[in-house]
Amino acid sequence: MIRFGIAGFGLHAVRRLMPGFALSKKCRVTALSRRSLGKAKQSAAEYKIALAFDSVEELSRSSEVDAVLVTTPNSCHLPDVMAAIQAGKHVLCEKPMAMNADECRRMVEAAHQKNVLLGVAQIFRFDESVNRIRELVSAGAIGKPVFARSEFSFLAGAAHPRKWLYDASLAGAGPIFDIGVHCIDTLRYILRDEVVRVSASATRDPNSGTVESAAALTLEFSRETLGTVLVSFRAEYRTPIELVGDAGVLRAEDGLTVDHPIEIQVRQNDGRMKQESVNNRLAYALQVDGFADAIEGKSAFPVPGKEGWQNQEILDAALRSIRTGTTEHVVRVPE
pLDDT digits (tens, 9 = 90+) for 2-58: 999 999 999 999 999 999 999 999 999 999 999 999 999 999 999 999 999 999 999
**What pLDDT is attached to residue 157?**
75
Are 151 and 238 in contact by the 8 Å Cβ rule? The answer is: yes
Q: Give the 3-state secondary structure of residue 284.
A: helix
**pLDDT tens digit sequence for 255-314:** 999 999 999 999 999 999 999 999 999 999 999 999 999 999 999 999 999 999 999 999
CA distances from 318 to 67, 176, 180, 273 (A): 32, 8, 10, 36
DSSP class of 165 = G
**What pLDDT is attached to residue 104?**
98
**What pLDDT is attached to residue 170?**
97
State yes or no: pLDDT of 143 exceeds 80. yes
**What pLDDT is attached to residue 23?**
98
State yes or no: pLDDT of 161 exceeds 80. no
Are 240 and 231 in contact by the 8 Å Cβ rule? The answer is: no
**What pLDDT is attached to residue 158?**
64
C-alpha closest to that of 36 among 10, 60, 54: 54
For 172, left (φ over 0), alpha (ψ -120 to 50), or beta?
A: left
Q: Give the number of C-alpha atoms closer than 13 A to the C-alpha of residue 94, restricted to the C-beta side.
A: 24
The percentage of residues in the chain with a pLDDT greater than 90, rounded to a whole number, is: 97
90-94 and 118-121 strand pairing:
parallel
Side by side, the strands of the sheet bearing 2-7 are: 51-53, 27-33, 2-7, 67-70, 90-94, 118-121
The percentage of residues in the chain with a pLDDT greater than 70, rounded to a whole number, is: 99
State yes or no: pLDDT of 182 exceeds 70. yes
State yes or no: pLDDT of 66 exceeds 80. yes
Q: Give the 3-state secondary structure of residue 83.
A: helix
For 332, left (φ over 0), alpha (ψ -120 to 50), or beta?
A: beta
Instruction: Say how far apart CA 34 and CA 240 lie, in whole Å.
Output: 34
State yes or no: pLDDT of 245 exceeds 70. yes
Instruction: Say how far apart CA 283 and CA 160 lie, in whole Å.
Output: 24
In order of their start, the domains of the chain are 2-123+285-301 (3.40.50.720), 124-280+313-329 (3.30.360.10)
DSSP class of 101 = H
For 8, left (φ over 0), alpha (ψ -120 to 50), or beta?
A: left
State yes or no: pLDDT of 160 exceeds 80. no
Instruction: Say how far apart CA 34 and CA 40 lie, in whole Å.
Output: 5
Instruction: Say how far apart CA 262 and CA 257 lie, in whole Å.
Output: 8
Query: Please, what is the average pLDDT of the chain?
Result: 97
CA angle 38, 43, 49 (to 5 degrees): 115
Mean pLDDT score, 123-149: 98
67-70 and 2-7 strand pairing:
parallel
**What pLDDT is attached to residue 156?**
86
